[in-house]
């Protein structure tokens, strides 16, 4: 009787395994990207230690919206010292004492906002300078992470005096207007080398919301805030809170 022969079993196809070569190349690309970003940001910050920014992302956004820019860079040596005092009084009383971040101010802002008070941030002048000089105005957590990185760099590479000089020249002081000098010319028809205490305080009062506030004939909160800044400027001068920028 003929015997039945069993058909040879077909080998099962092996499961595809991720390519180690592809993973290795991906890791190399990521590593190269990190190195390029780190080196590039260091060089960018180092350049701006001695060179004013030709344009910022915020200014480019204004140009795209069809606005004309008003900018007039003025060195901190030429600027009236009351302008730096006003910025410190209004934005960051511990500017000369912290290393870029003010944990106390951040915690205070978070508690205030949770209580439902007037929304305010805890950003230092260093953080605002990092944002204004290198980044854009919105962007959530991704932009905040970059802001923290550039804050560390400018505190590492720039002296406090340069940070304040950059801040007072790139911060928006009105719609399409950038810097305290351009703001002084817009609001008071003279440059920032001879600001009065009241004028400097009013420009500082505009800084948190430059598209909604004006330093000429301010009313309501802006007027009260400007008067409060002017009063605190005396404390800044008396207690030497502006010592790092003199």
pLDDT in tens, the chain (246 residues): 445 555 555 566 555 555 778 888 888 899 999 999 999 999 999 999 999 999 999 999 999 999 999 999 999 999 999 999 999 999 999 999 999 998 887 776 667 656 665 545 679 999 999 999 999 998 789 999 999 999 999 999 999 999 999 999 999 999 999 999 999 999 999 999 999 999 999 999 999 989 888 888 777 888 999 999 999 999 999 999 999 998
Sign of CA dihedral 171, 172, 177, 183: negative
Per the CATH hierarchy, to which homologous superfamily does domain 54-245 belong? Biosynthetic peptidoglycan transglycosylase-like (1.10.3810.10)
Question: What is the reported pTM?
Answer: 0.85
Rounded-to-integer distance, Cα 38 and Cα 40, Å: 6
Of 174, 187, 199, residue with least CA distance to 79? 199
**Contact assessment for residue 139 and residue 129, using Cβ atoms and an 8 Å cutoff:** no
- Strand extents, DSSP E, the chain: 70-71, 172-174, 177-178
Structural domain boundaries of the chain? 54-245
Alpha helical stretches, state H, 6-139? 20-48, 57-64, 81-91, 103-114, 125-134
Of 152, 190, 160, residue with least CA distance to 74? 190
């Amino acid at each position: 009787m003929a015997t039945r022969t069993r058909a040879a079993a077909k080998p099962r196809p092996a499961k595809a395994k991720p390519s180690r070569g592809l993973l290795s190349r991906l890791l190399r690309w990521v590593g190269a990207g990190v190195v390029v970003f780190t080196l590039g940001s260091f060089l960018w910050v180092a350049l701006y230690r001695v060179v004013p920014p030709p344009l910022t992302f915020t200014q480019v956004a204004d140009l795209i919206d069809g606005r004309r820019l008003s900018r007039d860079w003025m060195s901190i040596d030429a600027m009236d010292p009351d302008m730096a005092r006003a910025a410190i009084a209004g934005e960051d009383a511990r500017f000369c004492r912290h290393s870029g971040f003010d944990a106390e101010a951040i915690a205070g802002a978070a508690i205030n906002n949770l209580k439902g008070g007037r929304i305010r941030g805890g950003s230092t002048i260093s953080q605002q300078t990092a944002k204004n000089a290198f980044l854009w105005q919105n962007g959530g957590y991704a932009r905040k992470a970059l802001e923290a990185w550039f804050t560390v760099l400018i505190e590492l590479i720039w002296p406090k005096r340069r940070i304040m000089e950059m801040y007072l020249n790139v911060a928006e002081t009105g719609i399409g207007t950038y810097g305290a000098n351009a703001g002084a010319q817009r609001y008071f028809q003279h440059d920032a080398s001879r600001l009065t205490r009241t004028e400097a305080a009013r420009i500082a009062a505009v800084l948190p919301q430059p598209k909604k506030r004006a330093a000429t004939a301010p009313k309501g909160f802006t007027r009260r805030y400007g008067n409060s800044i002017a009063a605190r400027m005396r404390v800044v001068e008396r207690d030497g809170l502006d010592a790092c920028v003199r």
